[in-house]
């Protein structure tokens, strides 16, 4: 910029060029700023060249992660999971590819995905923004990215060298164009639309916002409640064909240009609908791991009660559980769900607080909690019907 007569040096606070103080040099300096603002009004850390972003994604790829049986048990120690599910989740995570979690609602599919996050390991670096084909794309999003406060655990397996991201000063600091975050886990549900999976143009600032799957690079992208989105399931599935097969994605700018970006994501679909009704055989074949999360048996259900009662500081009474099963489950053939113990206990705690009583498994408190939690299976006429 000095060679182009855009800047002038007006002072120096230390040793070397990094300590120089600059001002815009008229007339070219102010004119260059005006010309730049006509192209974009992005205001933030300087964007990183697109090629540098590609190198960072490759160096920090989830393909280098290795999950073992011990890792799985540590990450899922606060959940009751069968050995068969453990043995399916581990290889699925190691594949760094795609997972289809399916089963009845309330059995912890979302909780399982959250625990998978614990297996993701070290922190990563992402740029605040990148510059590609003359366009600025914001990548860092404080809503979905968690800034890492703990020291970086750099993986020796990845071979990624952040030495280029250091300023050569007496106190080495990371290049301020990059931010250290926990490996991202982005979860979307019924609000997901196809538009959210492409570049979003800010017409006022004249820059782009990266789509969700790009923000999830080097991490997890989970589509929860799959099949209940505003967009048709088949259209959403078709959107993932190329990324799943090629490991890259195409994003479109407002001018019609296509940008090829890496797709380094563990993609998780979670649904309580029948997978065969949501996707055809050809697409299901592209999903490498299909894992059914089944209802717990009574022994597992009681173990979950033990965990949630311990977490809440409540004394568990198995006689109270016997009463609950006899009155609120067996007469209705109501299935046991993983989430029932936590939810019903929370109901019991809320009711006991209202009555200024201690939490016990008395029939009265159990009945009050279950009455407010379970919807009666009896058909009732309220004078109106829902049209689906």
Q: How many alpha carbons fall within 13 Å on the CB side of residue 225?
A: 11
Provide the pLDDT for residue 116. Answer: 83
Q: Which distant-in-sequence residues (6+ apart) come within 8 Å of 302 by Cβ?
A: 318, 321
**DSSP label at 283?**
H
**Cα(306)–Cα(333) distance, rounded to whole angstroms?**
23
Provide the pLDDT for residue 38. Answer: 65
Domain boundaries, the chain: 7-39, 48-292, 298-373
Q: In the block, which residue shows the tokens 């964007």?
A: 47
- Cβ contacts of 199-206, under 8 Å, gap ≥ 24: 199/137, 199/251, 199/252, 199/253, 199/259, 201/253, 201/254, 204/41, 205/40, 205/41, 205/42, 205/43, 206/39, 206/40, 206/41, 206/42
Chunk the chain into consecutive blocks of 10 residues (it has 388) and report each block's average pLDDT, rounded to whole numbers. Answer: 74 73 76 68 90 96 87 83 84 89 85 78 91 93 88 42 45 78 90 93 91 95 88 87 92 90 94 83 83 92 95 96 97 94 96 96 96 70 48
Provide the pLDDT for residue 325. Answer: 98
Which of 206, 60, 39, 45 lies closest to 139 in space, CA to CA? 45
How big is the chain, counted in residues?
A: 388
Provide the pLDDT for residue 331. Answer: 95
Compute how many other C-beta atoms are within 10 angstroms of the C-beta atom of residue 180: 17
Q: Do the Cβ atoms of 13 and 144 come closer than 8 Å?
A: no
Q: In the CATH hierarchy, which top-level class contains the domain 48-292? A: alpha beta
**Cα(257)–Cα(237) distance, rounded to whole angstroms?**
23
Q: Which distant-in-sequence residues (6+ apart) come within 8 Å of 281 by Cβ?
A: none
Structure tokens at 307: 């965990």
Instruction: Please report, for residues 339, 355, 370, the alpha-carbon distance to residue 298 in angstroms, rounded to integers and kept in the order given.
Output: 13, 30, 18
Provide the pLDDT for residue 83. Answer: 79
């Amino acid at each position: 910029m000095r060679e182009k007569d855009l800047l002038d040096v007006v002072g120096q606070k230390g040793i070397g060029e990094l300590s120089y103080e600059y001002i815009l040099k008229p007339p070219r300096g102010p004119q260059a700023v005006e010309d730049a603002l006509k192209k974009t009004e992005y205001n933030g850390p300087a964007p990183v060249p697109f090629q540098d972003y590609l190198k960072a994604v490759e160096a920090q790829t989830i393909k280098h992660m290795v999950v073992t049986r011990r890792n799985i048990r540590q990450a899922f120690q606060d959940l009751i999971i069968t050995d068969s599910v453990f043995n399916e989740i581990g290889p699925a995570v190691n594949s760094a590819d795609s997972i289809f979690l399916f089963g009845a609602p309330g059995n912890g599919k979302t909780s399982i995905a959250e625990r998978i996050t614990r297996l993701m390991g070290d922190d990563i670096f992402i740029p605040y923004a990148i510059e590609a084909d003359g366009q600025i794309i914001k990548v860092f999003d404080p809503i979905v990215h968690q800034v890492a406060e703990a020291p970086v655990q750099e993986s020796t397996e990845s071979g990624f060298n952040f030495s280029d991201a250091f300023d050569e000063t007496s106190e080495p600091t990371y290049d301020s164009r990059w931010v250290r975050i926990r490996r991202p886990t982005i979860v979307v549900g019924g609000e997901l639309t196809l538009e959210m999976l492409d570049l979003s143009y800010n017409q006022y600032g004249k820059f782009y916002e990266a789509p969700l799957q790009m923000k999830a690079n080097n991490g997890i992208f989970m589509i929860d409640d799959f099949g209940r989105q505003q967009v048709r399931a088949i259209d959403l599935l078709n959107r993932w064909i190329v990324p799943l097969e090629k490991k890259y994605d195409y994003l479109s700018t407002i001018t019609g240009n296509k940008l090829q970006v890496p797709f380094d994501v563990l993609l998780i679909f979670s649904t309580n609908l029948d997978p065969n009704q949501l996707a055809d055989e050809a697409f299901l074949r592209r999903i490498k791991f299909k894992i059914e999360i089944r209802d717990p048996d009574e022994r597992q259900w009681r173990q979950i009660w033990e965990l949630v009662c311990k977490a809440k500081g409540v004394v568990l009474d198995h006689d109270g559980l016997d009463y609950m099963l006899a009155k609120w489950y067996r007469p209705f053939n109501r299935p046991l769900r993983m989430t029932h113990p936590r939810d019903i206990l929370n109901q019991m705690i809320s009711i006991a607080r209202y009555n200024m009583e201690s939490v016990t498994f008395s029939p009265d408190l159990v009945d009050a909690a279950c009455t407010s939690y379970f919807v009666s299976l009896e058909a009732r006429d309220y004078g109106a019907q829902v049209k689906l």
